[in-house]
Amino acid sequence: MSPVRAFTAVLGRDVFVTGRELPSFLAQVLVQPVALLFIFGKVLSELGYAQPGYAQILLPGMIALNAFLVSLQNTSFPLVLDFSFSREIEDRLLAPLPISWVAVEKMLFGALRGLFAAVLMVPIGMVMLGEITWNLPGLAFALLCVVLGSLAGAAVGLTVGAAVPPRRINIMFSVILAPLMFTGATQFPWAQLDHLRWFQILCAINPLTYVSEGMRGALLPEVPHMPPWVCVLALVIATVVFGALGIKFFLRRALD
């Protein structure tokens, strides 16, 4: 069997298992973002604490959040389990393909899950929030941002899952998840943070910011946003840098 066929077979197996576990997967990836969307986009708007039109700004950010975080979690957590005492990763390492390709398969599978979860948020958000008007010509670029965001999130997840010992993964996620969620410009436009310059700089370090800004600029061009090329460049750099780091840590753990 060629390495390409082996890679496809391993990826296809993971996708098949996801199909069999679809109800639990949907519960895992939809409960938190749907709750956030309902509270911030529906409840606060109905009570008058959010300005009219805020739901329009929020929905692209929630889609970006789902793409990035679901990819991150669905790459890192299975990897931690595979490298735990059970050593389930050894079954994949025995497949007829380079070890680095096993890491890439883990990252690609996590990105596919994130992409699927992000797409699911579109009809849910439109039904929940009601009047959502998007710039239809920008849908192609928005999809590109979701794909790149899923890959970037999976690359970060590969780095975290391969670098952090299993006994410390819960502490790591407790430390990084909340900052990632609330500095990713998912609930607000990054370009309007001029009066909070330090926070704007902090948000610019988070790759999730570029997914949110890219989608918001494509779907709501009238809202202040980052230049599209900046978003694409930042996400490509994040994917390459974290992907290379993740593969390096993966090889170190796999050959240990």
Q: What is the pLDDT of residue 82?
A: 76
**31 closest CA partner among 62, 57, 74:** 62
Q: What is the pLDDT of residue 23?
A: 82
DSSP state of 164: S
Q: What is the pLDDT of residue 86?
A: 61
Average pLDDT over residues 56-80: 89
Condensed to tens digits (0 to 9), the pLDDT of residues 70-103 reads 999 889 888 887 777 666 677 677 777 788 888 8
Residue 1 has pLDDT above 60, yes or no: no
Of the listed ranges 38-47, 77-86, 185-194, 240-249, the least confidently predicted one is 77-86
* Ordered alpha helix ranges (H), 135-225: 139-163, 169-182, 197-205, 207-219
Average pLDDT over residues 156-164: 89
Average pLDDT over residues 122-145: 87
The model's confidence at residue 41, banded by pLDDT at 50, 70 and 90, is confident
Residues 6+ apart with CB under 8 A from 188: 57, 61
More confident residue, 256 or 25: 25
Residue 132 has phi, psi (to 5 degrees) of -120, 120
Q: What is the pLDDT of residue 44?
A: 84
Percentage of the chain beyond pLDDT 70 is 96
More confident residue, 235 or 91: 235
Q: What is the pLDDT of residue 166?
A: 74
Q: What is the pLDDT of residue 10?
A: 79
More confident residue, 175 or 104: 104
Average pLDDT over residues 1-26: 79
Q: What is the pLDDT of residue 142?
A: 93
**176 closest CA partner among 151, 157, 197, 155:** 157
Residues 6+ apart with CB under 8 A from 3: 96, 97, 98, 101
Q: What is the pLDDT of residue 64?
A: 93
Q: What is the pLDDT of residue 34?
A: 85
* Mean pLDDT over the full length of the chain: 86
Distance of CA 198 to the CA centre of its chain: 24
